[in-house]
């Protein structure tokens, strides 16, 4: 794992965001550098956009089901 990814993971955990959920949506970007336009859901037409990425991911964690 890269040093940046480690730093991003710590920042996400402090912010109350699931790192896996974040990395799926924003890749290696940190919460301090990501914008709504960087989100995979917006790029794929699955989201209306216009939200703060950190707030969006905090809300999103309550709506995610993991399928095994």
Nearest Cα neighbor of 12 from 60, 48, 51 is 60
What is the domain count for the chain? Answer: 1
**pLDDT at residue 1 tops 70:** no
- The answer to the question of residue 40 being in a domain is yes
Mean pLDDT of 26-55: 94
Whether the pLDDT of residue 65 is over 60: the answer is: no
Determine, yes or no, domain membership for 68. no
Q: Evaluate whether residue 47 is within a structural domain.
A: yes
Domain that holds residue 11: 3-63
Q: What is the pTM of this model?
A: 0.80
**d(C-alpha 31, C-alpha 58), whole Å:** 12
Q: Are 12 and 31 in contact (CB under 8 A)?
A: yes
């Amino acid at each position: 794992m890269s040093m940046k990814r480690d730093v991003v993971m710590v920042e996400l955990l402090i912010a109350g965001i699931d790192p896996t959920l974040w990395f799926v949506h924003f890749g290696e970007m940190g919460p301090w550098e990501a914008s709504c336009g960087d989100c995979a859901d917006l790029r794929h037409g699955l989201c209306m956009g216009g939200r703060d990425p950190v707030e969006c991911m905090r809300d999103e964690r309550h709506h995610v089901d993991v399928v095994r």
